[in-house]
Amino acid sequence: MGAVSTAPTSPAARVPFLKGHGTENDFVIVPDPDHRIELSASAVARLCDRRAGIGGDGLLHVVRSAAHPEARAMAADAEWFMDYRNADGSIAEMCGNGVRVFARYLQRAGHVEAGDLAVATRGGVKKVHIAKGADGPVTSATARQDGDITVSMGRAALPRETVTVTVGGRSWPTLNVNMGNPHAVAFVDDLDHAGNLFTEPPYTPSAVYPDGVNVEFVVDRGERHVAMRVHERGSGETRSCGTGACAVAVAAARRDGVDPLVTGVPVTYTVDLPGGRLVITERPDGEIEMAGPAVIVAEGHIAPDLLVPSETAAI
């Protein structure tokens, strides 16, 4: 990763940011249409620091696909690329809540309107639908009543290799679900049994996930209704995880014997997370749709020192 270019980070050319969340999975948003900013991992970690930075579960770097080397091949299908980073600065393939917040930013900035659009990600091009919000003038009372955003998340893969997760002397088998990023889903009797999810729960065999894994703990709340907690790889426990909710719905459908690839009937699960509710539908062709809210809560400018690579930053 290179250093941030000097022009956009000079005091005379401050770098803008926004803050948004989807079911309280929160993100720092850095608009950079022409890809003038090369964000180092250390700079991302400082921006996401909740005490010394802006604070967030991750960072959404907003770049036109044609301007980013990782996305140029997708430029014909999606104008915008979500260059997503975890809170520790590591690069991630995909973030479901992040895509919704990314789309909300594009709408707020006037780049897109309510309706259908495509977003390029490292997990491929994602189809997004922005529902229209409440009718009438936007006021302080209605500004946060925008319609839900639905994201087509693609198909899940279910690798055969699985792990056993152990917390506090209890162990559970998991289902390996890949949503463009890896998930280990465990069904438990009580969400408190997950313990402290700030650090990654121990699992064996570790070789199944050499680069780490997102771990979901799930309980039943009713018919086609579950609740979950999640440890997100690179971020710790978060209030919500969109790809995790999709992985949980896929795992629950297999457990419950309603796999739509077998039955030919779509199945919908309501997934409650600490930060809100998502609705996940898996269709007979395997396509998974996730619907939920996305809100922009703040905007401002980044102090230039936060963007300086750590090896040159003042201590």
pLDDT of 110-136, one tens digit each?
999 999 999 999 989 999 999 987 433
DSSP designation for 157: B
254 is in an annotated binding site: no
178 is in an annotated binding site: no
Reference 280, options 110, 272, 217, 288; nearest CA is: 288
C-alpha–C-alpha distance, residues 17 and 46, integer Å: 14
DSSP-based helix, strand, coil % in the chain, nearest 5: 20, 35, 45
315: pLDDT confidence band, cut at 50, 70 and 90? very low
Report the Cα–Cα distance between both ends of the chain, in Å, rounded.
21
176 is in an annotated binding site: no
Mean pLDDT of the chain: 90
| 139 burial via Cβ count (<10 Å: 0-12, 13-18, 19+) | exposed
Q: What residues contact residue 253 under an 8 Å CB cut-off, 6+ apart?
A: 259, 260, 267, 269, 282
Are the beta carbons of 214 and 240 closer than 8 angstroms?
no
Marked catalytic residue, from 45, 149, 215, 241:
241
DSSP designation for 97: H
Is 48 among the residues known to form the active site? no
| Residue count of the chain | 315
133 is in an annotated binding site: no
C-alpha–C-alpha distance, residues 145 and 133, integer Å: 6
> For residue 19, what are its two tokens?
């803050």
277 is in an annotated binding site: no
- Across residues 272-293, what is the average pLDDT? 97
- Residue type for position 229: R
Q: What residues contact residue 84 under an 8 Å CB cut-off, 6+ apart?
A: 58, 59, 60, 61, 91, 92, 93, 94, 95, 98, 121, 122
Marked catalytic residue, from 43, 74, 95, 112:
95
Reference 205, options 161, 251, 158; nearest CA is: 161
Tracing tokens 């960072």 back to the chain, one arrives at 59
Is 241 among the residues known to form the active site? yes
DSSP designation for 265: S
C-alpha–C-alpha distance, residues 128 and 115, integer Å: 8
Same fold, 6-148+295-307 and 164-292: yes
Q: What is the pLDDT of residues 195-240, one digit of tens each?
A: 999 999 999 999 999 999 999 999 999 999 999 999 999 889 999 9
216 is in an annotated binding site: no
Residue spans of the domains in the chain: they are: 6-148+295-307, 164-292
User: Which CATH topology does 164-292 take?
Assistant: Diaminopimelate Epimerase; Chain A, domain 1 (3.10.310)
pTM across the whole model:
0.84
232 is in an annotated binding site: yes
Of residues 13 and 90, more confidently modeled: 90
314: pLDDT confidence band, cut at 50, 70 and 90? very low
305: pLDDT confidence band, cut at 50, 70 and 90? confident
304: pLDDT confidence band, cut at 50, 70 and 90? confident
- Residue type for position 35: H
Q: What was the pLDDT predicted at 146?
A: 63
244 is in an annotated binding site: no
2: pLDDT confidence band, cut at 50, 70 and 90? very low
C-alpha–C-alpha distance, residues 82 and 294, integer Å: 15
Q: What is the pLDDT of residues 32-75, one digit of tens each?
A: 999 999 899 999 999 999 999 999 999 999 999 999 999 999 99
For Cα atoms 142, 22, 42, give the angle at the middle one, nearest 5 degrees.
130
Tracing tokens 């969340």 back to the chain, one arrives at 21
255 is in an annotated binding site: no
User: Which CATH topology does 6-148+295-307 take?
Assistant: Diaminopimelate Epimerase; Chain A, domain 1 (3.10.310)
